[in-house]
Structure 1
Amino acid sequence: MLDQLEDDERIPYICRLLYEAYRIPVIWLNTEGETEQALPQFYQARPPAQDSQGLLAEVREHVLDAANSGSDARTAALPQICTTAYLENFVVLPLSGELKLAGTLVIGPSLYTSMNEETAASLLRDHNISSGQLEVWLQYYDLLPVLDRMRLYHAAILLYTLVTGQALTINELLLDSLKLQPAQLEGGAPDLDLSYRRENTWLHHDPSQERELFRHIRNGDKEGLLQTHAGFNEDQYGLLSKKSQLRSKKNLAITSITLATRAAMDGGLFWEIAYTLSDFHIQHIEELKDIPAVDRALLAALCDFADHVKDNHRSKLSRTSALCQNYIFNHLYEELSLSKLAGVTGLNASYLSQLFKKETGLAVSDYIQRERIGEAKRLMELPGITLSDIATRLHFNDQSYFTKVFKKYTGMTPKQFRHDRGIT
């Protein structure tokens, strides 16, 4: 049994098992980041790059990030799937528990699919590397082992189980990785602008697999989405830019988000919320500088759509109440009244008022106020907007009334809210 081996025997044994099983480099780094064991003995050197100090330096950075990212013992001990800007993949597992002082285990580098000349050339252009270095980079990529996405996930799970003796599912692995990614736009919060994240792409492959993926979004099933995503092969993606691999990935991501937007609306998500999510996720992707960031952002975005659909299903509103909420969401900066909503729904105002309060627990006027205060909180986190401007834009009679309503729903005044968040 593994637990009968001493640490100085157990870790080398696990490293050799993984190396023999997958023929992929395995490294044991001590707590100082120094190499205790490497299989094979000589780590594959990456060619000189414009913006990189070398692969091992990046590995050590990911080791530090993984070691410091967990909020509890189990989170800290979960393996992290890391992808560099040059598409090398590796698994990082910070050791914990009794093995905590032993350091970190790293599997990699590997590729999801073999690197062809066209892809390598566009990748080098993305990083401003001379085309004269293409041959040496192709030689480097040819020496890296190829493990498709699912096999690498299974390697990470096997490593975790060998080290801890505990089971781990693909969903747990992926959801933990998503929690550790910087998923927000600069200066934002998850609910500030209806979120901003994402990961991977689905075009030019079996259409049934694509349909299955978007069916999970339509049903609000994030676990099913992650399972289906894990089965996609990197080499089946389309090429939407011959000049830039990064541009191709962004285009594929934007296409996927467009399809996810439609699937979410088919699943009952308010169309304006779906479109707003789409806008911000696409804007975020356009700002990203490397392929791994685009991949992570796309998966996070697809999960975001599934989560919103699921939350919408939980509300169990009638079509009429949902239509009212959607109209209020779209017209929050306009004059809103019960009579206007009655006209939108085609119902008697009195009946609509009773139905809406029965299903939401709020009178129409209270619901409008609450939504406007939520919007005011978002506006207050933006620079250069005064409280009087916000009150006027959201149709409060005057600033004192705005303050009264704001305190009713938040327990503090607008000035206290800004002060607590360090906003001037």
Structure 2
Amino acid sequence: MPNDRDTEAAPDDALLTAFSGYITQHLGLHFPRGQWAELVRAALALDSAGAGACMRRLMAAPPTRGQIEQLAGQLTVGETYFFREPAVFDALEHEVLPALIAARRAAGRTLRVWSAGCCTGEELYSVAILLQRLMPDLADWRISLLGTDVNPVFLRKAEQGRYRDWSFRAVPAWLRQRHFGPPQDGLRAIAPALRRGVRFDYLNLAADLFPGPEAGAPTMDLILCRNVLMYFEPASAARALQRLGRALAPDGWLAVGMAEAGHALLTPFEPVRFPAALLYRQRPDAPPPGAAPAAASVSCAVPAAVPMLAASAEPAPALALRARLSADRGLLDDASLCCAAAIATDKCDPALRYLRALILEEQGRSGEAIGALKDALYLDPDFVLAHFTLGSLCRRNGAAREAQRHFANALELLRGHAPDDVLAHSGGVRAGELADLMRAGAGAT
């Protein structure tokens, strides 16, 4: 006999519009029409009575913290790893942190870092590793390393500090061995020394008091809020950025995701360009920390219906990141559209052609994927991953001789890499691992 869930009508556009607005109001997250399926999936997971019943029940009253946590558990993405976006950490290690350490050494030896939207903790522990390397007198300092997130599952994992190899895909073997214990049940534990000063806490960036003057506490020297606000509705992102600025020390620094850097919403901060990264600091004319916002509303700067990264002048890296995130969620049509827009913005980037090939292959369009890989190799004949992937597709399609040629090209190019080198655009694959894979495979030499 059918149950209520089987017979309930699918949520209509009016209900989904209202529920999307409810999520934006209470979590800051932006779910345009093309992502409403994510809202339906989340509601189905939370209520056996059906998606529509769940949405109406939640919207009947202001959400409790427990309901916010449940929604966050369904709607937030937990993709991160140690030293993600290495160019940012290179700027932190060689420029930003040394300057902050020198300034704070002369003023009480206190340093405060906040990872806002810390996910499972890899980002904050990466900063802890840098501080241990940069500060031989670390034991003499008062260090506060705060990680906050709205997802309680992420926070529990961060507090446990135990990680699978996938979290180390962008770091060399020596770093794993020096700062983590031996693997147990497939997990490596963070070294106890790196836990000093580290604390993880629940915080909803769309609603709760921020650490710093808002909460009657000192300002932060470094705030990392990376690949978080790109999911926010623009007005929510603008409010969060304004509050981040009030939490930041006058000489403090803000790090956002590389795909978020350069966005118009960041104009309240002063951009500082490093060789391969863009970070932000307080402008000299910024109001004092904790000061009330200006009378004009920043939410007027961007139309509320447009997501943070959806402006017509959206840069190719931002479009490419959206394409990858959509592909990870299984939204291949959205991924394909974003990738096509990225290529239209930057026609000479071989990595975008490679990304297009991966999406096409996921869509079952292997012939077009082969064409996209050939385009990538036309733009960059030394693109190792493109040779390897093209070889794999050719072998699958019965073109053994062409497959062999591309595998041989890839192996020859890999000879110019150290085995521990992480290959560009590989998601963390090391040169030695790829070479071993090809040598072990049929048709490779």
TM-score (norm 2): 0.30
Which structure has the highest helix share of the two? 1
TM-score for the superposition, normalised by structure 1: 0.31
Q: More strand per residue: 1 or 2?
A: 2
